[in-house]
Structure 1
Amino acid sequence: MANKESTQRTLIVALLLCVVCSVVVATAAVMLKPMQTANKALDFKRNILAAAGLMEEGKTVDELFSQVTTKLVDLDTGKFTDAVDVDTYDQRKASKDPARSEKLSSEQDIAKIGSRVNIAKVYLVEKNGAIDKVILPIKGYGLWSTLYGFMALEADLNTVAGLGFYEHGETPGLGGEVDNPKWKSLWVGKEVYANGSVAIEVIKGNAAAGDSHKIDGLSGATLTSRGVDYLVKFWMGESGYAGFLANLKNGEA
């Protein structure tokens, strides 16, 4: 009888412990969710600023981001749109919704993204009433994962101000070198277009000194380099932002 009571007591204590732990974990998750959401939004802003070379010591991310205006662009017309709310629009979810995205043919889908959103967020920096920089979301498949990032252009809408990826699963030390500041710096000052066509290119090996369109490939990461090359060409091309950039340059966006 004593052994039976001891076993029952042990089971009751274990059950109560499990319940208490579950309540603590659930409560912590609920309480921490707003903080996690805020930190995620802050990190997203930081990556936008970093891609455009706008980070400054001594200033908070929110202070720096106050110079950035977020707008929505209809990629089919290449013009700004207010068809949806810019503050609540989730571009990643929209890309998976057939009603809010366009399925790409194999010829179009060089970035291997499956479908392209109809409406994209873009980020503008203006000075003295004129465009100073434009930051554009980009994504595409590398070797192991989809890379998500931003490409920033200078006021001429052709010269690269910066490029950065904030999410990917490429191999550390190889394809993961897309995060290497030295490699990212190679993009700054390069030109996207030549004679109306996308000319920027990630090549195997090293680009010739002074070449305004070619970027060194990542050593030992041919497929990741090729993936970055393709995704940049896709988003800077006719299926991506080319129409919008042309309209913006002509004051017709």
Structure 2
Amino acid sequence: MTPPTATPVARQRKRRTRTTNVSCRPPLAVSTLLPIDYDLLPGFEHLRCPDCTTWCPLTTDKGSQEWKQAPHHTERAGTPGARRCSGSNRRVLLDLTIAQWQEQLADAAKETASRRPTTVLKKVKAPVAPAVTQLDPAPATADSARRTYELHRSRCAACTGRAHCQDGGRLAAAYLRLLQAEPRRRRNRALYEELHAAAEKVRARELPRQRHAQWAKVAPVVAAADSARIEPLADAIAPIRGAEVPTEWRDSKERARALAADRTGAAIREASPLRVKAN
């Protein structure tokens, strides 16, 4: 299967130039260019001009086998600023075969695919703590307003007797307003606690029923497992329970100590010089 061409422009049939002029610049070898900067398919030879990065066809003169870039402009002809590119009519050396070019193109595609970065996962931003001025203050009560008012009167020289300064008058008015609203606040608080307690009682009554329904749902499975565990298995060998098998942790510990003492005594007797001399 023929690999797709690297040229972004529409293919055009090879055409011959109307001029036999040849640029005096040194020939351009396609082996010095990137595989994606030229197309060597027969009849569709194209090349990206190194001077102006314009895709232009490769042509040959009549009766000649030398390839050269077709005359082209740096911008589209007929537009302001268009001029003839210095790479026009420059000789091109096709020093690579089509198979070599396709192999280089495949290798470049593999290398580019391996360099593609993985998906970048955005780091979760830690929540920023609000400033002190952004915090919602605790709701004022009659007691807190009274303490604030008394503290102000103890520090303010203008607040004497029934006379108040501007701030003292504001604090006194706030204290009176909260004192009048205190009975209503207590009633609302008591109503809230009563509703919360009633909800807790309902939840406490419903919890045993939910538990009972859950156990009733799994009771058949549990009963089947218990019956299967109680029934003896066919052709099963019962575990051997001899007198020499310890069944308690204390017996196992004392037996281990006795065995260790026996091994120690045997080792001492084996290494005793008296026994060696007696032998």
TM bucket normalised to smaller: under 0.3
Flag the structure with higher strand content: 1
> Greater relative contact order: 1 or 2 (C-alpha under 8 angstroms, separation 6 or more)?
1
Flag the structure with higher helix content: 2
Higher Rg of the two aligned structures: 2
